[in-house]
Amino acid sequence: MTLDRLNPRRIAIIKPSALGDIIHALPVLTALRTRFPKARITWVVNRAYEPLLAGHPDLTDTLGFDRGAMTSLRGAIATVVAFTTQLRRRCFDLVIDMQGLLRSGLMTWASGAPVRVGFATAREGSRYFYTHKLPAPTRMQAHAVERMWRVAEAFGVGQLPKVFRVPLQSEAITFAREQLARLPKPVIAVAVGAKWPTKRWPPAHFAAVLERAQTHFGAGCLFVGSADDTTNAQAVLAHLRGPCLDFTGRTSLPQLAALLARADLMLANDTGPLHLAAALGKPCVAPYLCTRVAFHGPYTAEARCVETTVACAGSYLKTCDKMICMPELTAQRLWPHLAEVLQTWTAHHCRSA
């Protein structure tokens, strides 16, 4: 039987991480819910990201995988045994591996599901654990959202619009409203960090464009990210004189989502909060250094991204001993794009006033 004729009762989506990757897969979840309105749909996710999916209208539940507990052999064995037991108890009819790595392939196989779907281009041998392999472009041939969408197409719902649904929790909404009451509009959410050093635009560049945003538009700045980003955020803040709030390392994922939902635009590196803001419909401005906008840019019509023009642009190297892209992609190059978004915001709100 072809996939578009299946009628499973229990479905698992395996997409454990990271934040941006989970965001890229959200439209597939909504399409599958449309295709299977009565099915039980579970998302297998790293426990650190589980709160982001809590209350999603198209999910039945989540199954958390505690990767942080696998720091020792004993801990790893205990974690794998406990997780596999839970996985098999769910008696899934259909499992879809949207991660495409050895770990997720093993999860797919361990589920015992009779139908196990993944991409033919999956890495680390994970494709050998699937019963159905979907033809799909590699990460350097199509945008990540388009690659994930091949799943929706395989199940006969590829004609649907791609919808990003991000659940917002009431307590987090209240938190964001109270915190941002102190900031003037427009509020620029700023993410100066990134996991890869090669994605991190220099703090001095962020400071230069944000200083102009505050001077010319009276913008308030909201810094978000993990505790690892605090040092760079503080380096930027040291150059700013306008109203700012630093929430790096101080929010849960639901609080981060609620803060971004109330911000007016996003300025960020290619990192999770950027893609979360795009999913929430926010205009996004971003410097792109070692990655490509065509493949991993914010998936929104309101994105204004600037790529470096050095010879090694889009290398996808996580570390580099040259970093020649950093001085090349200057604040002066990015500023017109940020100014355009701010001018649009100002014009709209002046008309509405």
Tell me if the bond preceding 37 is cis, omega within 30° of 0. Answer: no
Among the listed residues 247, 291, 239, the one whose alpha carbon sits nearest the alpha carbon of residue 269: 291
Per-residue pLDDT, 140: 84
Per-residue pLDDT, 75: 64
CA distances from 204 to 21, 168, 232, 305, 308 (A): 28, 33, 9, 18, 17
* Per-residue pLDDT tens digits of the chain, which is 353 residues long: 689 899 999 999 999 999 999 999 999 999 999 999 999 999 999 999 999 999 999 999 999 988 766 556 666 677 788 889 999 999 999 999 999 999 999 999 999 999 999 999 999 999 999 999 999 888 789 999 999 999 999 999 999 999 999 999 999 999 999 999 989 999 999 999 999 999 999 999 999 999 999 999 999 999 999 999 999 999 999 999 999 999 999 999 999 999 999 999 999 999 999 999 999 999 999 999 999 999 999 998 778 999 999 999 999 999 999 999 999 999 999 999 999 999 999 998 876 65
CATH topology (fold) of 3-154: Rossmann fold (3.40.50)
Gyration radius (Cα) of the chain, Å? 21
Q: For residue 134, list its beta bridge partners.
A: 119
* Domain range 170-352, CATH architecture: 3-Layer(aba) Sandwich (3.40)
How far apart (Å, rounded) are the C-alpha atoms in residues 252 and 31?
27
Cβ–Cβ < 8 Å for 105, 126: yes
Domain definitions of the chain by residue range: 3-154, 170-352
Residue 292 neighbours by CB distance under 10 Å: 18
Is residue 235 within a helix (H) or strand (E), and if so which, with residue range?
A: helix 230-237
The two domains 3-154 and 170-352 share their CATH topology (first three levels equal):
yes
Cβ–Cβ < 8 Å for 151, 28: yes
- Sheet with 40-46, edge to edge strand ranges: 61-65, 40-46, 10-14, 94-97, 115-119, 132-134
